[in-house]
Every structure is written in C-alpha cells, then in structure tokens.
Amino acid sequence: MKQQAKLKKHWQDNGYFVINLIRVTPIGMPDLICIKPNKVIFVESKEDNDRLSPLQKIWLNRLTSLGYECYVNYTIWKINNN
C-alpha cells in the first residue's frame, strides 16, 4: 500500500473526511485535507526517499501560520522545520 493510501486510511479511521487535493490545488499545496467538525488539518504525503520541495515548505509554513495543523506523513509540521 502506498504512503498516501495509508495516510488516508489513518485519518479516516480517526473520524476525518479526507479529500485528495492533488489535482485541484496550486502546486506545492499539501496532498490531503482532513475535515471533521471544528477541525481541519493538511497532510503532505511523502514516500521514504522523497523530500519536500521549497514550495511545499512555503505552503506548510503559510498554513501553519494561519493556525492549521499540518503534517508530513504522521509528523506534525512546525514552522522551524525548514
């Protein structure tokens, strides 16, 4: 099972409605948006040997600074993760 499928299942199992954003958002935006009442999180899916692009880091920092929780796989993103 690919990483993104695992992540989608993980968040769905935790009560979130998960939307794959890959085809409908600007380049660099996280792959998944996970929604449940009063909570929205963004998740960037990375396979073992993948790295974040500079644009992906910008989006993660922007969303985090707006108050959203962001994750890279299962790890919460902190703005100082550059």
Task: Convert the pLDDT of each residue in 29-80 to its tens digit.
Answer: 899 999 999 999 999 999 888 899 999 999 999 999 999 999 999 999 988 7
User: Model-level pTM?
Assistant: 0.85
Q: Are 21 and 34 in contact (CB under 8 A)?
A: no
For the CA atoms of 23, 26, 29, 32, the dihedral, rounded to the nearest 10 degrees, stands at -20
The residues that bridge with 35 in the sheet, in sequence order, are 17, 40
| Tokens at 59, concatenated | 């989006």
| CA–CA distance, 15 with 7 (Å, rounded to integer) | 13
Domains and CATH numbers, the chain: 3-81 (3.40.1350.10)
